[in-house]
Amino acid sequence: MKADILVANSGSASPFNRSVQHDAKRIAILSQAARLFNYKGSRATTLHDIADSLGLTKTSLYYYVKNKEDLIYQCYMGALELHHRDLDEIEKRHAGAMERISGYFLQHFENWLAAQEGRAPHIAALLEIAALKGTQRKHVEASYIGLFKRLREYIRQGVAEGSIGACEPTSTTRAIVGSVDWTFSWLHSIPREKVRTTANEALDIITNGICAGEAPHSPAKLCHESKESVHPEDFNRVEKNRLKQEAFFKTGTRFFNTQGFTGTSLDEIAEHLNVSKGAFYHHIKNKEDLLFHCYNLSLDIIEGIHAQSPQFAGTGLEKAEMTCRRVFYVQNSEEGPLIRYNTITALPMERRRQILKRTDKNNENFGAFLNEGIKDGSVRPINTLIAQHLITGARNAAMDIKRWRSVDSIEDAAIDYFDVFFSGLRPRKNS
Residues 323-374: tens digit of each pLDDT: 999 999 999 988 889 998 888 888 888 999 999 999 999 999 999 999 999 9
Using alpha carbons, select from 82, 39, 23, 16 the residue that is nearest to residue 6: 23
Which amino acid, residue 245?
A: Q
Q: How far is CA 289 from CA 282, 285, 295, 348, in A?
A: 12, 6, 10, 10
Q: 22-44: b or e for each residue (b if 16 or more CB lie within 10 Å)? A: ebbbbbbbbbbbbbbbbeebbbb
Task: For residues 55 and 115, give the distance between their C-alpha atoms in angstroms, rounded to a whole number.
Answer: 19
Least confident range of 14-18, 124-128, 270-274: 14-18
pLDDT digits (tens, 9 = 90+) for 304-330: 999 988 887 789 999 999 999 999 999
For the chain, the structural domain boundaries read 18-164, 236-406+420-425
Which band of pLDDT confidence, cut at 50, 70 and 90, is reported for residue 235?
low
In 3-state terms, what secondary structure has residue 196?
helix
User: In b/e form, how buried is each residue of 281-313, taking b as 16+ CB within 10 angstroms?
Assistant: eebbeebebbbbbbbbbbbebbeebbebbeebb
Instruction: Classify residue 398 by its DSSP letter.
Output: G
pLDDT at 26 exceeding the cut of 60: yes
Strand, helix or coil for residue 233: helix
Tell me the C-alpha distance between 143 and 368, whole Å.
38
Reference 398, options 341, 313, 334, 315; nearest CA is 341
Which CATH code for domain 236-406+420-425?
1.10.357.10
Fold adopted by 18-164: Tetracycline Repressor; domain 2 (1.10.357)
Would you call 94 exposed, middle or buried from its count of C-beta atoms within 10 A (0-12, 13-18, 19+)?
middle
Res 71 pLDDT > 90? yes
Q: Which residues contact 251 (CB under 8 A, 6 or more apart)?
A: 269, 272, 273
DSSP states of 45-73: --HHHHHHHTT--HHHHTTT-SSHHHHHH
What residues have CB less than 8 Å from 16, skipping those under 6 apart? Answer: none
In whole angstroms, what is the distance from residue 28 CA to residue 17 CA? 17
Report the phi/psi class of residue 377: left, alpha or beta, with left for phi > 0 and alpha for psi in -120 to 50: left
Band of the pLDDT at 19, cuts 50, 70, 90? low
Contact between 175 and 397 under an 8 Å Cβ cutoff? The reply is: yes
Coil vs helix vs strand at 41: coil
Given a cut of 70, whether residue 7 has pLDDT beyond it is no
CA angle 123, 205, 91 (to 5 degrees): 55
Q: Do the Cβ atoms of 331 and 286 come closer than 8 Å?
A: no
Closest by CA position to 366, among listed 249, 358, 144: 358
pLDDT of residue 220: 63
Q: What is the pLDDT of residue 203?
A: 96
CA dist 321 to 156, 165, 372, 380, 429, Å? 25, 20, 13, 15, 20
Contact indicator for 104, 54 with CB cutoff of 8 Å: no
For residue range 43-66, list pLDDT tens digits in order.
788 899 999 999 988 888 888 999
At residue 13, the 3 state secondary structure works out as: coil
pTM score, whole prediction: 0.86
- Output the DSSP codes for 203-225: HHHHHHHHBTTSPPP-PPPP-PP
Q: Are 421 and 370 in contact (CB under 8 A)?
A: no
- Rg of the chain over Cα atoms, rounded to whole angstroms, equals 23
Q: What's the average model confidence in pLDDT over 410-420?
A: 92
Domain 236-406+420-425 in the same topology as domain 18-164: yes
